[in-house]
Amino acid sequence: MRVYLDNAATTPIDKEVLAVMFSVMEKQYGNPSSIHAHGREVRSVVELARKSVAKLLNVSPSEIFFTSGGTEADNTAIRCGIHDNGITHAITSKIEHHAVGHTLTALEKKGVIKLSYVNVDEKGNVDYNHLEELLQNNERSFVSLMHANNEIGTLLDVERVGNICEKYNALFHCDTVQTMGHYVHDLSHLKVHFVACAAHKLHGPKGIGFLYVNHKVKIKPLIYGGSQERNMRGGTENVYGIAGLAKALEIAYHEMDEHASYVQELKTYMKEQLLENFDDIEFNGETDPEKSLYTVLNVSFPESDMGDMMLFNLDINGISASGGSACSSGSNIGSHVLTGIGASPNRPSVRFSFSKMTTKEEIDYTVEKLKQIVPVAV
């Protein structure tokens, strides 16, 4: 039996999404920049997809720009948002995705910005009072904070951060890669300037995403070339991916309540089974369902000599998951997120992440195998 519990890394593609993509591949093969009939037909695929995404997010199609994924979207927002608006101070946290953290530290090393880190607690919650202090004690800032942490699932109060940023005229970039398609994002009512998405996190294809850019913000391209994406991203569009992204988001919004309830039940069930069978485990991140992404459960198991082999042992038992321990030294490459929240470096941690395709039987199988792998069980 093979069990897939690494949906936070990527999700299986939906069959309906595949059907849409195959149809475009087979029948609509023109270059969308060509002015002839074949090109115009494919251009309509791109623009209909843009309108579909924009409608679901309650924004204008002119605010949606397709990218190669979340990393490009984050880089575009950060690099162009900072450079083109003359910003010299940025704020983030030490538990952001590397697409954000590494980009900002690169800009800091080049002397482009001064970088500040907002405090987070042991569950990964942002200290909103500290955020406000950083904003009021510095020049105009660029704030980059993710909606849900990709390793521990702790949620950000996006509305609260947006209101704080507005108070101090700061630009707000939110990486919603883990939450797009899992929560309603009404961007017309949120005070956010940039939002990033990657389709493969919501049962869409890899290699495609989008960046939402609020119409009040003006930026120049990160990638130059042709006039694609209204002169905002050079390069022939990934039309099949764009069509797949739009379909995946459409399905996600249509089935959101049903799937959220189902997946939350799976997460709760696995948590209960782990507590019942193991006497020394800890859950990393927020445990309150209202404050935690329902697709992610991060677990620290007891210390043991076999800790480093946890993921390997899961894999050879047919279970795909991800994780790792906190860094115990500057030279030890571990999870910067677990290190950032002060987790023990001696406890092996595993991130189990679920989707609408996960089953209760797979959870039972995983728990039974863990009882064989983890040295100390009740």
Residue type, 114: K
Q: Which of 222, 237, 254 is the last residue of a domain?
A: 254
In a domain, 335, yes or no: yes
Contact predicate 269/73, CB 8 Å: no
Residue type, 59: V
Is residue 165 flagged as an active site residue?
A: no
Concatenated DSSP letters of 222-258: SS-SSSHHHHTS-S---HHHHHHHHHHHHHHHHTHHH
pLDDT in the model for residue 303: 83
In a domain, 195, yes or no: yes
In terms of domains, do 294 and 178 share one? Answer: no
In terms of domains, do 27 and 149 share one? Answer: yes
Mean pLDDT of the chain: 94
Which residues on adjacent β-strands are paired with residue 299?
A: 283, 350
Beta-strand relationship, 296-300 and 282-284:
antiparallel
In terms of domains, do 227 and 325 share one? Answer: no
pLDDT in the model for residue 279: 87
In terms of domains, do 37 and 162 share one? Answer: yes
Assign residue 145 the CATH number of its domain: 3.40.640.10
Beta-strand relationship, 296-300 and 319-320:
unpaired
Looking at 80, 165, 174, 327, which residue is catalytic? Answer: 327
In a domain, 184, yes or no: yes
Concatenated DSSP letters of 335-375: BHHHHHTT--TTS-EEEEE--TT--HHHHHHHHHHHHHHSS
In terms of domains, do 108 and 231 share one? Answer: yes
In a domain, 34, yes or no: yes
Averages of pLDDT over each 10 residues, the chain, 378 residues: 96 98 95 95 97 98 98 98 98 97 98 98 98 94 98 98 98 98 97 98 98 97 96 96 98 98 98 94 94 97 76 95 63 80 89 97 97 72
Of 23, 41, 43, nearest to 33 by C-alpha is 43
Which residue range(s) make up the domain with 334? 3-11+255-373
pLDDT in the model for residue 307: 60
Q: Which of 254, 282, 309 is the last residue of a domain?
A: 254
The helix (run of H) or strand (run of E) holding residue 98 is helix 98-109
In a domain, 323, yes or no: yes
In angstroms, the CA 204 to CA 197 distance is: 11
In terms of domains, do 82 and 127 share one? Answer: yes
In a domain, 309, yes or no: yes
In a domain, 378, yes or no: no
pLDDT in the model for residue 331: 42
pLDDT in the model for residue 329: 41
In terms of domains, do 129 and 273 share one? Answer: no
In terms of domains, do 154 and 121 share one? Answer: yes
pLDDT in the model for residue 49: 98
Assign residue 333 the CATH number of its domain: 3.90.1150.10
In terms of domains, do 270 and 345 share one? Answer: yes
In terms of domains, do 91 and 208 share one? Answer: yes
Residues contacting 143, CB < 8 A, separation 6+: 90, 91, 92, 131, 135, 161, 165, 170, 171, 172, 173
What phi, psi does 6 have (nearest 5°)? -130, 40
In terms of domains, do 234 and 271 share one? Answer: no
Q: Which of 232, 254, 276 is the last residue of a domain?
A: 254
Residues contacting 55, CB < 8 A, separation 6+: none
pLDDT in the model for residue 242: 98
Q: What angle do CA 201, 203, 207 make, to 5 degrees?
A: 60
In a domain, 32, yes or no: yes
In terms of domains, do 325 and 233 share one? Answer: no
Contact predicate 157/28, CB 8 Å: no
Encoded tokens for 149: 């942490």
Of 255, 289, 277, 302, nearest to 378 by C-alpha is 277
Provide the domain count of the chain. Answer: 2
